[in-house]
Amino acid sequence: MSASNKVKDTAKAGDTSAGGSDAGALANSLRFEQEKNEVLLAEVVALEDELVNRQLGDFVEVISDRTKDFWREQLLSNRSAGGSPSYKPGKESGVLYVSEV
């Protein structure tokens, strides 16, 4: 069963609170959202593993089995470091900002 189907099934199970108290409905909604987040997180981790494995496959000739875990961690840390820019756009970067008057 795919992750998106698990979310849909969980949504159907969470819909039984109609007509219940507001607190019960909120508790069920919170539980559903937490379960949905868990499913989505697992899906993201699986996709990240797939991507790293594909990238490691490009270097199979030069990466030994002994160093594969090291290079996997390097790829993951480089990806997380690349997500946050080390500079702020502005005058120094040549970006022109026009403000509304």
pLDDT digits (tens, 9 = 90+) for 40-64: 999 999 999 999 999 999 998 998 9
Q: What is the pLDDT of residues 62-98, one digit of tens each?
A: 989 999 999 999 988 887 776 655 544 555 545 444 4
pTM score of the predicted model:
0.51
Place of tokens 């993201």: 44
Give residue limits of the domains in the chain.
3-83
User: The tokens 């005058």 sit on which residue?
Assistant: 91
In 3-state terms, the chain is what percent helix, strand and coil (to 5)?
Answer: 70, 0, 30
